[in-house]
Amino acid sequence: MSQPVVTRFAPSPSGELHLGNVRTALFNWLHARRHGGRFLLRIEDTDAERSRPEFAVQLLQDLRWLGLEWDAGPGREDAAAPYEQSRRSALYTAALERLERAGQVYPCYCSTLELEVSRRAQLASGKPPRYAGTCRNLDAAQRAARVAEGRQPTLRFKVPDTGKVEFTDLVHGAQIFACADLGDFVVRRADGSAAFFFSNALDDALMGVTVVLRGEDHLSNTPRQQLINAALGQPSPTYGHLSLITGDDGAPLSKRNGARSLRELREAGYLPEAIFNLLFRLGHSSAVLGMHDLATLAQHFDTAHLGRAPARFDFAQLEVFQKDAVHALTPERAAIWMQAHLPNGLAPETLRAFVAAIQPNVILPREVAEWAAVIFDDAAPAALADETSESRRLIREAGREFFLAAAAAVQASGTDWKALTTAVRTATNRKGPELFKPLRHALTGVGHGPELAPLLPLIGASRLQARFEHAATLA
Ligand code: GLU
Ligand code: ZN
């Protein structure tokens, strides 16, 4: 039997989760589920300046909200815990000491300025910049002299002078990096903390991770991480580097072209189903159509279908999925989803009736609020204040008698739609659109929307009558 699949998501809590991170989390989750494996969550919070505990807390909430529960990670510790890198420094120190004893790393005393000067010189002479090896062969006396100057060394990994690092990326195929191009890289910072390359590679090995799907920006880190693993005598996971996500304008998805954090999307009322169905297709082609739950998507997730081309985030498609997701909500979930946008103190049966009436017609809670205003506010719909509106034109065409008949019908038979339309038809001889359109516009100020019959009892007889009487004055 082949090795069980273990994937992980390893975010740095230096900001809110955006759609790029979320897709990475989703793909790792799906891949683990697809293969009956495990999905781990590791918080890469070693950068004390940029990491913030509140971002870590929020990203756990975000993942749970999406349904991407982890098999091990914060709050779900197992033998490989802790899952916060800030709590793992002893492990990094021990592994770095092993490399020191084996002579695979050496202290580098170069200052930031010296490194920058060297980098510019290499660029100026047309060479790709890499560490020049300045401190690689210092003898004990030279080291002591630098220490005496008060220099705090970093620790660099000794990359072999010759040879190459080869691996197969699940997305990009065969990769070959010449060691000579890599340059000795920092594995421990001057403050003693482990560098990203190192803690990331070590933890994947210690946690038994077999497959890493992560952003394309990490592809060039991978040969260094393979060297670290080889030096520590531990296996490297298989990597797949996911294509960039771009906005509508083809530029990388960012605030500028409309990217929003997961929190912002959630607060705007987007549902998890809409988001993960869209992300499933971002850089991953699939024959499966329509909306599905996570378990079904997992059955159709295939790393062989990951694309190299940048994936365009399609906001219109998000709306399509959102619409389907809203329509598919159970009445209970729909009520919860809408509740925050409804007037307080609605009776439970009113709430239920309202939710049922408008659910087929809304995509976002903003529209819920609009319908709530139309139905529960005493004021006439805003469009009726505008003389040039379609509503006012139709009201003028229908005429005063039409709305007086409607008001009288409400007075006579209350909120019954059938009785209302029959009475107005009999009184005015109008039928079809000539009958229905002016009624709808007078009541709602728009030409589209939920069926009117279930709305009338929610609007209530007195407001209905007032709206028709008001329309009569505008006709
Ligand atoms: N903490 C890194 C990041 O968020 C993890 C990269 C990786 O998945 O290996 O970019
Ligand atoms: Zn140096």
Residues across the chain = 475
Q: Choose which residue among 12, 29, 241, 244 to substitute to test ligand 1 binding: the one with the highest number of ligand atoms within 8 A of its C-beta.
A: 12
| Separation of CA 401 and ligand 1 centre (Å) | 70
- DSSP bridge partners of 311: 245
Both structure tokens of 67:
């349904």
- 391 touches ligand 1 (CB under 6 Å): no
- 224 touches ligand 1 (CB under 6 Å): no
| Separation of CA 185 and ligand 2 centre (Å) | 10
Q: Split the chain (475 residues) into runs of 10 and give each run's mean pLDDT.
A: 88 95 97 98 92 96 98 98 97 98 98 95 92 96 96 97 97 96 95 95 98 96 97 97 91 82 93 97 93 97 97 92 96 90 86 94 91 92 94 97 97 96 97 96 95 95 97 96
- 73 touches ligand 1 (CB under 6 Å): no
The Cα angle at residue 32 between residues 30 and 33, in degrees rounded to 5 = 65
Kindly give the interhelix angle for 196-206 and 222-232, rounded to the nearest 10 degrees.
60
- 11 touches ligand 1 (CB under 6 Å): yes
Q: What is the pTM of this model?
A: 0.91
| Separation of CA 149 and ligand 2 centre (Å) | 14
CA distances from 437 to 200, 282, 400, 440 (A): 64, 42, 15, 5
Q: Choose which residue among 28, 29, 41, 44 to substitute to test ligand 1 binding: the one with the highest number of ligand atoms within 8 A of its C-beta.
A: 44
Domain with CATH 3.40.50.620 in the chain: 88-242
Q: Does domain 382-474 have CATH number 1.10.3720.10?
A: no
- 44 touches ligand 1 (CB under 6 Å): yes
The closest-lying atom of ligand 1 relative to the alpha carbon of residue 204 is 9
Count other C-beta atoms under 10 Å from residue 54's C-beta: 9
- DSSP bridge partners of 176: 166
Q: Residue 365's pLDDT is what?
A: 86
| Separation of CA 182 and ligand 2 centre (Å) | 15
- 15 touches ligand 1 (CB under 6 Å): no
| Nearest residue to 242 via CA among 28, 59, 62, 38 | 28
Q: Which CATH architecture has domain 88-242?
A: 3-Layer(aba) Sandwich (3.40)
Nearest ligand to the C-alpha atom of residue 115: 2
- 370 touches ligand 1 (CB under 6 Å): no
The Cα angle at residue 471 between residues 465 and 473, in degrees rounded to 5 = 110
Q: Residue 1's pLDDT is what?
A: 52
Domain with CATH 1.10.10.350 in the chain: 382-474
- 200 touches ligand 1 (CB under 6 Å): yes
| Separation of CA 155 and ligand 2 centre (Å) | 9
- DSSP bridge partners of 178: 164
| Separation of CA 10 and ligand 1 centre (Å) | 5
Q: How far apart are CA 223 and CA 186, in angstroms?
A: 14
Q: How far apart are CA 318 and CA 49, in angstroms?
A: 35
